[in-house]
Chain A
């Protein structure tokens, strides 16, 4: 179960951040913000440990309470998922989760009534992300 799912624009501005209401959202926002640097570093490193063509970046950096994962699309949109140490997702599940968040974002962009970069009010997107946050395992 994720405690936070965040989508950031090309310019690293927060587009949408969903946090578990039981958690301190300010702390989670801060973690998302600090992970931007790590993401940029991973993108720019010439000798990436991961396959440099992979969109999924894996775990970004260690933290005592949380696991933080990153993903960057070809359109420079960054997705950050934070989960608590006490309830971790398996690696396969993490990739699936990013894939689904990415899919929800694509549907949002393809909606002609949505202007890219503007605040998100689309119900289908909001409820997709909300149900992904609650899911215990990702199908």
Chain B
């Protein structure tokens, strides 16, 4: 595992780099995909768009679950995250698994930013291939 990490200076830098790449992709993807769609109004509708339409575009399936605490935090759950379904579920690969989710987190962040909802996006992998992506809106919802 030293190859790529050494070039980028460590796993954190790799994650950051992947997120940045994902951000630009998510931003452009949303610009293009929402062209002929009806206007998406509420914050909740935007997050639902991410769970259904964006997930469909990226993974050809929708996200499996969406939870919210109604104060600006959403958790998107995917029970069979496409990039992890072929990765062994043993403990030793758990940290590597985070690198596989980084790009997607960037895509979601860029997509939300273009919708006008800047937020922080983090992912947890408790039980691969189930992934939980947490969105924390930077402005409290009105």
Contact = CB atoms under 8 A, between A and B. Distances in A.
Interface string A66-77: 000000111110
Contact of B32 (A72, A110, A112): A110
Interface size bucket, B side? 10 to 19
Given A53-B38, A73-B35, A110 B30 contact: no
B28 A102 contact: no
B34 interface: yes
B24 A55 contact: no
B27 A116 contact: yes
Given A10-B116, A75-B116, A76-B116, A55 B31 contact: no
Contacts of A73: 31, 34-35
Given A10-B116, A74-B115, A112-B24, A106 B39 contact: no
B34 A74 contact: yes
A120 interface: no
A41 to B, nearest CB: 15
B34, B38, B39: most-surrounded residue (chain A CB, <10 A)? B39
Contacts of B35: 73, 102-103, 106
B136 interface: no
A79 B30 CA distance: 17
A53 B115 CA distance: 15
Contacts of A74: 30, 34, 37, 39-40, 115
A83 B30 CA distance: 30
A136 B104 CA distance: 45
Nearest 8 interchain pairs by C-beta: A53-B38, A74-B34, A109-B31, A110-B28, A75-B114, A76-B116, A53-B39, A106-B32
Given A53-B38, A106-B35, 14 more contacts: A52-B39, A52-B41, A54-B39, A73-B31, A74-B30, A74-B37, A74-B40, A75-B30, A75-B31, A102-B35, A105-B31, A106-B32, A109-B31, A109-B32
Interface of B: 24, 27-28, 30-32, 34-35, 37-41, 114-116
